[in-house]
Amino acid sequence: MQVTVNGESLGLAEGTTLGQLLAQRDNEPRTVAVERNGAIVPRDAYGATAIMDGDTIEIVHFVGGG
């Protein structure tokens, strides 16, 4: 299936969860926030959230700023 992650098109295996996507990207779940199709996914739901074909996912974290 094809999804968009942080603006980039990406092929993923069917049934991939958000938790697996974060692990593939080496993103620490405790330091990020995730939006799936514009809705925030609670941190404790990453493992149970299956990504669907066509999903748009944003993964953000805190960086230096003023």
Partner 1 sequence: MSTGTKDPFVIAGVTIASRLFIGTGKYGSDALIPAVAEASGASVITVAMRRVDKGGKGVMGHIPSRLRLLPNTSGARTAEEALRLARLARAAGCGDWIKIEVISDTRYLLPDGYGTAKAVELMVKDGFVPLPYINPDLYVARDCVAAGAAAVMPLGAPIGTNRGLQTREMLAILIEEMEVPVVVDAGLGRPSQACEAMEMGADACLVNTAIATASDPVAMAGAFRDAVIAGRTAWLAGPGGVKERGEAADPSSPLTGFLGSPAPGAAAGGA
Is the alpha carbon torsion for 33, 39, 43, 48 positive or negative? Answer: negative
> Shortest Cβ distance from residue 36 to partner 1 (Å)?
12
> Contacting partner 1 (CB under 8 A), which of 34, 36, 49, 51?
34
> Shortest Cβ distance from residue 61 to partner 1 (Å)?
4
Separation CA 42–CA 32 (nearest Å): 10
Residue 11 binds partner 1, judged by CB under 8 A: no
What CA–CA distances, in Å, run from 39 to 4, 64, 66?
A: 15, 25, 26
Instruction: Enumerate binding residues for partner 1 (CB under 8 A).
Output: 6-7, 25-28, 30-35, 40, 42-43, 58-66
